[in-house]
Amino acid sequence: MTPIRSPFLRGCLASAPFVIVVVPFALLFGVVATEAGLDLLQVMLFSFSVFAGASQFAAVQLMQDQAPVLIVLATSLAVNLRMVMYSVAMAPHLGAAPFGTRALMAYFLVDQSFAASQIEFERRPDQPLADKVAFFFGTVTPIAPLWFIATFAGAVVGEAIPKAYALDFAVPITFLAICAPMLRSIPHVVAAAVSIVAALVLAVMPYGTGLLIAAVLAMAAGAGTEVALNRRQGHED
Amino acid sequence: MKIDPATFWIVLPALGLGTYLIRLSFLGVLGSRPLPLGLRRALRYTAVAILPGLVAPAVLWPAATAGQTDPARLAAACVTLAVGIATRSVIGAILAGGVTLYAVLWI
């Protein structure tokens, strides 16, 4: 097999496996958002402007629960805060590109393009800037169009799905499925457990504020557990 | 319940812009500088601190059954979590959870 020279094509290949996650996820978003009462235009604008699946689901669920705007925004933006880490990790590799290019790459900085690019840039840090930029755009090429097309398909199909199919539960199942592989260390498990217990105990609090408090507690619990474990293993970082 | 259009039209631009600014932060404006360790540590747990809490009430007290705990939904949630942890496959976990939900609902 001849190795592929074009960094753009290598980027496409590197993120191609993510397609099997992105398509059903986007389809489901289209269906769920339509069931929640959004019309086709609203659903598509949502996917275009936010372009971050988990926070889109979170926002739809909270808006359906009639949570106030500020709570909806705080919670959904908190879901996306992990992308600060992505932005930090990409800056040393792509930061020398012109601002316009970086502004465009920022829009496409999603879980999949970050994951594929991070692996590539760590493996071959010395490649020219132009190659890194081309690779990055390669990684979003299979992902972004399919995200929008599948959202559209889901929104169109969603109107036709009867209530008997218990679609209300598609979102909890999807979120649990996204979370489960994240439970890869003790601090992650502790954070998830605190999140669940606190959210249930605080569910009586009005307007979804209980969830925000639960999230802060869970984040502190995760970080605290990490510090404690590090200390026990005798390194300070 | 249906989403209130007024809420939607405020949330849409604010969430879109906010999410974009999060992505742009270091890549676009702040450049290559290290994050304080404490902040990095907290950011690592954001997703796992919110998503489980978001679904927990919906698993135990589903709106579709007027808040009554439902064996089908509870079983589906447990299977999804177990398969997700065991296989690390998001799609595998969704499929297993979906099959469990329908199996218990219709048997």
User: A with B: how many residue pairs have Cβ under 8 Å apart?
Assistant: 285
Provide the shortest C-alpha distance from residue B63 to chain A (in Å): 8
CB contact (8 A) between residue A88 and residue B88: no
CB contact (8 A) between residue A37 and residue B3: yes
Mean pLDDT of A101-121: 90
Q: What Cα–Cα distance (Å) separates residue A107 from each residue in A188, B18, B19, B78? A: 28, 11, 9, 35
Rounded Cα distance, A54 and A17, in Å: 19
In chain A, how many domains are there? 2
Angle at A199 between CA A173 and CA B62, to 5 degrees: 45
The pLDDT tens digits of the residues spanning A44-60 come to 999 999 998 889 988 99
Mean pLDDT of B48-53: 86
B42 is a domain residue: no
The pLDDT tens digits of the residues spanning A189-217 come to 999 999 999 999 988 877 667 888 898 89
What residue type is B55 in one-letter code? Answer: V
B24 and B54 belong to one structural domain? no
B39 is a domain residue: no
What is the per-residue pLDDT for A173? 86
**pLDDT band for position A30 (cuts 50, 70, 90):** very high
A27 and A108 belong to one structural domain? yes
Q: Which residue has the higher pLDDT, A21 or A112?
A: A112
What is the per-residue pLDDT for A50? 94
Of A158, A55, A80, give the one whose Cα is nearest residue B23: A80
What is the per-residue pLDDT for A2? 62
Q: Which residue has the higher pLDDT, B51 or A145?
A: A145
B63 and B102 belong to one structural domain? yes
What is the per-residue pLDDT for A10? 93
Task: State the residue range of the domain holding B100.
Answer: 47-106
What residue type is B45 in one-letter code? Answer: Y
CB contact (8 A) between residue B54 and residue A211: yes
Which of A24, A77, A187 is opposite residue B45, by nearest beta carbon? Answer: A187
Q: Is the model's pLDDT at A237 over the cut of 60?
A: no
In degrees to the nearest 10, what's the CA dihedral of A188, A189, A192, A198?
-120
CB contact (8 A) between residue B44 and residue A99: no
Of A208, A125, A59, give the one whose Cα is nearest residue B14: A59
Rounded Cα distance, A226 and A109, in Å: 27
